[in-house]
Structure 1
């Protein structure tokens, strides 16, 4: 769903020939919309794409992501209602658990998360050493998963049905333990072989099963300790997600929006932050660092990109010898608040602002016969087409401008670029490509 939404957004952007930075943001918005609609999690979906994929919380990126995710969620809720993706009767009651068991669960899952990441990495390396063609490698992984599913069919799929069962059905300790073990094994083999699919929802299942087992095991070891396995299953999802993604705020919001239970919020914060702290101390990389690590060179590419690579054609241009009346008509045809002024050879002369035109129209001096060049604003910053994006950002910050013209070495006006596009380009090139799967 996420990949399809992102691909559709890419097709739309290419059809309308949007600039590369805006196309990258459009694809990210498609991914956020797909994630939000699939899991009924608008805020967490937007934050996931911003924090993990784009690796920025700048409002230039986060704002559009939230709008697209919320819009997609509203459309889905119009058709299927506001039912949370995971529901349980126990969620309606206040969570009454001591702080110590919650912290212990966070520590446990903070330790298990790096172990799971090491298993995934080891499986990838094992299949790479086999040097099999991709079809054979994927087929071998599918053979192993199929063999596992013959004894435990619950390992099939993303694990949503099993999580629902953990939250609502009476299950035995041995059954949940076998599902946890074989799901980890099946996911590890599938990911290592290169099978197309995600680890996001399987991570939720692993966390939920571990939380459920922890609550049951704690009661068996200490009969006086009563912990609701359903609550611990929900907390386990958030803790394991935080430990594997290293994005605790996203994990907290994700589980909260999946359950729509405010009673879980405070324990979720505690368990997710604990798991993230332990996991980060044991293993610096997240579950998405491995596929993203192949793009380390692109993280430095923004220093090599030039302004000309992402600039747009100048859209609001007027001749210096044009009349003020012509300038007024030009402003009426656009929403821009300035016009680029050029001479007869196309050389950039400066800009005419709408404020300057309006202020001069209120004076007593006649200006019907005045020319645009007579009302040019004082010298304003401009960008060179061969300048770097890093240089462009410095000029934008120093000038405080929202949009600047781009000129060649001969001072000819070649294009224009907005601060928004520069920020998006820097964020996109400094960030790795989106992970192949979620």
Structure 2
């Protein structure tokens, strides 16, 4: 009996064209949803096994770290950093013929992910998470979902667009399984990664995310992320206070991202190899964990404590400071992961502090600390991600509190607007690229050709002769000469082929140009009020380097010419100027995590 060959199976499957059409794609979206949820369960188990290797009783990261001795709180993050850095170094040596980041694969490429490079990065993230790193652990789970989707798409020989959409489905399923938030997961991928909310793409994303959520429920891994007491919403002045909290979050979120970027720049200046850079970050983290073990992990434990217990202002301030420093040490050193959930933790602290201040100033309005904490989380996250719609749904799905939706709608939008008023470091490189492209398009749509017009040297009047045309073609290596009348009105072009034809017919050199075939519509013409984009579009249909510029359609006075290279140079100059003034990019390779 012949052994089973996956390649033979693929060849047989690819013979059925219906397997890659749109209705069948929803079947693959379902399969990807199940597989991504399975990868999430597997990663949870890997964390469990990793904690056993450290000699700990498995549990929440903060609880595990609190049981470590003082020596272990330094030793484990340092060793974890060395291992994580070594794995990252090895991943950098993998042949880079495919993408390592699912966001770039979907938004900027063909959807093909490097499985070897991705596996090494996921293991690196696992090492950081198990040893107490202050990053979101679910980023690796999302990447695993995207990787398995890419593998399925490549195995079935999908075209590039279908692979991209299938990888997006895998990412949405991973986010859904990680956060128990299927709607927010679909919107996260659509809003941030794909940059579109069209029904064509949103449908498969919702299917994958929903199936992943069902799978997590069937496997017993589903639970409401933040199980808070029912929240009541009063239509009074407290709503205005929540809006003020949104403004504060919108101002502070960019500062948090700037701090992380500054720490990362400091680590880069050390020029340490990745293993030693992450080990140094682990040592700094260990010093913080000696003082506050709850600063480890993704911040889930402290958020739960804030939602259920009473905190003093000094306690919240200390927890906030420790968490920010721990996240800076972990992320700044180069650890793979993201700041999605650490941002929720910082936002919760901001909301708690705001509530405590209100309790001192206006105690009659300070009745529900959980309301301020959750609004602070949503506003801070919306300000950092610039994805308010996704944030509204995510906070709702993580709490199952319908009364939160109305204040979240206002708070997330306001925080996003406030943070957008000044340069904010980009959490995700794809959003930065998309914003740069959109900004460049807006700029070139307002820039005209007027400043690029130069004198036209190859111009003859109708009353000049064939001899003068021959002399001009000999002096200038061009294919066309522009012809004008006595009023400088453009009449068309005279081609070198037309001049050659007249010479071969032995026509007199004194023949006026007006008797030659001047072609008025042979090449496109430009106007000074045209935009760079309009001018470039006309050049795309013309093989030459220059085009004539006329005053207007009604007044076709020849003003000069514009060169294609001048337009391209202007566009490149604008792109370089944008890069110089762009906000820093956090450049997290495994992003969108909890």
**TM-score interval for Structure 1 and Structure 2 normalised by the shorter chain:** 0.5 to 0.7
In the alignment, the residues of structure 1 paired with residue 319 and residue 333 of structure 2 have an alpha-carbon distance, to the nearest angstrom, of: 21
2:184 corresponds to 1:30? no
Q: What residue number does 1:273 align with?
A: 413
TM-score (normalised: structure 1): 0.65
Work out which of the residue numbers 190, 205, 216 in structure 2 matches 1:50. 190
Shift of 1:47: 0.6
Question: Deviation of residue 227 (structure 1)?
Answer: 3.9
Q: Out of 285, 293, 315, which is 1:145 matched to?
A: 285
Q: 1:133 aligns with which of 263, 273, 277?
A: 273
Indicate if the aligned counterparts of 1:243 and 1:275 stay in contact, CA closer than 8 A.
yes
| Alpha-carbon separation, structure 1, partners of 2:319 and 2:434 | 33
Deviation at 1:249, TM superposition (A): 0.7
CA contact (8 A) 2:426 2:432 kept: no
Instruction: Please give the alpha-carbon distance, in whole angstroms, between the structure 2 residues aligned to 1:140 and 1:293.
Output: 31
- Residue 168 (structure 2) pairs with residue 14 (structure 1): no
* SS class of match (2:298): coil
Q: Residue deviations 1:389-428, cap 9 Å, x none? A: xx9xxxxxxxxxxxxxxxxxxxxxxxxxxxxxxxxxxxxx
In structure 1, C-alpha distance between the alignment counterparts of 2:588 and 2:346, rounded to whole Å: 23
Structure 1 match to 2:400:
260
Matches within 5 A, 1:37-436: 37-80=177-220, 83-89=223-229, 91-95=230-234, 98-289=238-429, 435-436=589-590
Q: Distance in 2 between matches of 1:78 and 1:115?
A: 41
Q: Deviation per CA, 1:221-274, whole angstroms, max 9, x where unpaired?
A: 334442421110011111001000011111101101111111111111111111
Question: Given that residues 95 and 263 in structure 1 are in contact (C-alpha distance below 8 angstroms), is that contact kept between their aligned partners in structure 2?
Answer: no
SS at match of 1:80: coil
8 Å contact kept, 1:5–1:30: yes
Q: Distance in 1 between matches of 2:367 and 2:328?
A: 30
Q: Structure 1 residues 207, 282: CA separation in 2 closer, same or farther (over 3 Å shift)?
A: same
Q: Secondary structure at the match of 1:117?
A: helix
- Write out per-residue CA displacement over residues 261-309 of structure 1, whole angstroms, 9 at most, x where no aligned residue: 1111111111111111111112355422489659979x99xxxxxxxxx
Q: Deviations over 1:148-197 (max 9, x none)?
A: 11101011111111111111123332222211111111112211211112
In 1, Cα distance between equivalents of 2:268 and 2:234: 46
Equivalent residues of 1:213, 1:229 under 8 A apart: no
Name stretches of at least 5 consecutive residues in structure 2 with no aligned partner. Answer: 1-140, 441-536, 538-586
- Give 1 or 2 for the bigger CA radius of gyration: 2
Q: Distance in 2 between matches of 1:286 and 1:9?
A: 26
Structure 1 stretch displaced more, 264-273 or 78-87:
78-87
- Asked if the contact 1:207/1:236 (under 8 Å) is kept, the reply is yes
In the alignment, the residues of structure 2 paired with residue 251 and residue 43 of structure 1 have an alpha-carbon distance, to the nearest angstrom, of 10
CA–CA separation in structure 1 for the residues paired with 2:262 and 2:434: 17
String of CA shifts for 1:119-141, please: whole Å, max 9, x gaps: 12212221122211111111111
- Structure 1 pair 290/39, CA: closer, same or farther in 2 (3 Å)? same
How far apart are residue 40 of structure 1 and its match?
Answer: 0.8
For 2:248 and 2:406, how far apart are their aligned partners in 1?
19
> In structure 1, how many angstroms separate the alpha carbons of the residues matched to 2:281 and 2:432?
22
Contact 2:338 2:588 survives alignment (8 Å): no
Q: Give the corresponding residue for 1:437.
A: 591
Distance 1:95 1:132, change over 3 A: farther
State how far apart, in whole Å, the 2-side matches of 1:434 and 1:287 are.
7
8 A Cα contact 1:29 1:69, kept in partner: yes
Contact 2:177–2:216 (Cα < 8 Å) also in 1: yes
TM-score, normalised on structure 2?
0.48
Deviations 1:80-113 (A, max 9, x none): 3864211111x34445662220111001000001
For 1:195 and 1:223, how far apart are their aligned partners in 2?
Answer: 43
Measure, in 2, the Cα distance between the counterparts of 1:168 and 1:223: 19
Identify which range, 101-110 or 166-175, moves more after superposition: 166-175
Distance 1:185 1:285 in 2: 18
Q: In structure 2, which of residues 130, 135, 143 is the aligned counterpart of residue 3 of structure 1?
A: 143
Q: What do the CA deviations read for 1:205-231 (whole angstroms, capped 9, x no partner)?
A: 111111011101111133444242111
**Aligned-partner SS, 1:282:** coil
Q: CA RMSD in A?
A: 2.6
Query: Would you say how many aligned residue pairs link Structure 1 and Structure 2?
Result: 305
